Amino acid sequence: MNRLNASPRIISRSKDLARDRAFWANLLDLRTRLNLLAPHTGGGYANRRFAIIRNAAWITLYRAVSPYPQIGVFLRCTGLAGEAFFMIADTARQRIQPHLQALVGPGALLEWGATHHPGMTDIAAVVEAPFPWNAAATSLHIHWLLQVGSAFWMVFGSLTNGSQGLKETGSPNLYRSE
């Protein structure tokens, strides 16, 4: 199709896709430079995945326009190994939930055990991300996703080595003013 004759809807989708790819490229670049999270293991339009247990438990960073503009970090568990991992996390819930709630910040929702995907269990931190998604908003989205994502990684990833999910040394904070 000739781009001059393309409908505004097709051009808009192309621009949205280009913006989405640039957003995730910037986030992954910063993740690498700051050495946050594990290596990126997968993703698609609007999300990126970091595996804790391959095909069973992973951290997903998410940015979406619908059902309303939002960003979020999810621990997703599926299958027998994922259910077992969720049980371990749920056992440590009293220790780690207040810490995670403090990290996600005011206005963010921390949901434990909720899911919108059949066969999965989630622990989710979600915050509204109103438009416009300009450069300033994009920067805030990236920093919040990396801060909360790295906290999820530290807390839930440590459950695989028996440390029960929370160390007294604190957590990563990209907003520190030191």
41-68 average pLDDT score? 87
Q: How far apart are CA 26 and CA 48, in angstroms?
A: 12
pTM of the model: 0.82
The b-or-e profile of 89-122 (16+ CB within 10 A means b, else e) is: beebeeebbeebeebbeeebebebeebeeeeebb
* Count, residues in the chain: 178
Q: How far apart are CA 71 and CA 124, in angstroms?
A: 10
CA atoms within 13 A on the CB side of 82: 18
Give the Cβ contact number of residue 31 at 10 Å. 22
The b-or-e profile of 52-61 (16+ CB within 10 A means b, else e) is: bbeebbbbbb
Question: What digits encode the pLDDT tens for the residues 98-138?
Answer: 999 998 988 899 999 878 888 889 999 999 999 999 999 99
Counting the structural domains of the chain, the total is: 1
Q: How far apart are CA 18 and CA 175, in angstroms?
A: 28
Per-residue confidence band for 169, with pLDDT thresholds at 50, 70 and 90: very low
* 149, burial (CB in 10 Å: exposed 0-12, middle 13-18, buried 19+): buried
Q: Kindly report the CATH number assigned to the domain that includes residue 144.
A: 3.30.1460
* Residue 176 domain flag: no
3-state SS, residue 149: helix
* Residue 105 domain flag: yes
**Which residue range(s) make up the domain with 12?**
3-161
* Residue 53 domain flag: yes
Per-residue confidence band for 175, with pLDDT thresholds at 50, 70 and 90: very low
What confidence score (pLDDT) does residue 109 get? 93
Per-residue confidence band for 177, with pLDDT thresholds at 50, 70 and 90: very low
* Residue 138 domain flag: yes
